[in-house]
Amino acid sequence: MARQLWEYAVLTVRIVEMSEAGWTYQATAWSDEAEIYSRSLGNMFWTAPLADLGREGWELVSTSSENALMASWVKGWQAETSRPIQTNFFFKRPAIS
């Protein structure tokens, strides 16, 4: 029986700019030391890179977030909240031999 081999990728989504109008994120994915994906995202539209990688056969297997305490403005009120400043998404797909 042949053993299944896998290739792995990490997609990092991080905040690159914050303003009252919204946040801008950068999504970048790497596999085997090569960049395989890069896209700028407005606000929190993280489903776009997840769907893009899924269409290329990548399966999401895990996530991890790095959070930071920051001020948040909602309808004129300011509050401190913990928000993700970077989230890592880990993917795998069958390796092509």
54: amino acid identity, one letter: G
Angular region, 22: left φ>0, alpha ψ -120 to 50, beta rest: left
Query: Would residue 51 count as lying in a domain?
Result: yes
Q: Model pTM?
A: 0.78
Q: What is the mean pLDDT of residues 10-33?
A: 86
Query: Would residue 32 count as lying in a domain?
Result: yes
Domain count, the chain: 1
Whole-angstrom CA distances from 13 to 45, 62, 88, 95 are: 10, 14, 6, 24
Per-residue pLDDT tens over the stretch 48-84: 999 999 999 999 999 998 876 555 555 555 555 556 6
Query: Would residue 18 count as lying in a domain?
Result: yes
Query: Would residue 71 count as lying in a domain?
Result: yes
Query: Would residue 1 count as lying in a domain?
Result: no
Domain that holds residue 84: 6-94
Query: Would residue 50 count as lying in a domain?
Result: yes
Pairwise CA distance, residues 28 & 81, whole Å: 25
Q: What is the mean pLDDT of residues 83-93?
A: 87
Least confident of 6-15, 25-34, 40-49: 40-49
pLDDT recorded at residue 84: 67
pLDDT recorded at residue 49: 93
CATH number at residue 57: 3.30.1410
Neighbouring residues of 62: CB distance < 8 A, sequence distance ≥ 6: 89, 90
Query: Would residue 48 count as lying in a domain?
Result: yes
pLDDT recorded at residue 62: 97
Pairwise CA distance, residues 58 & 50, whole Å: 9
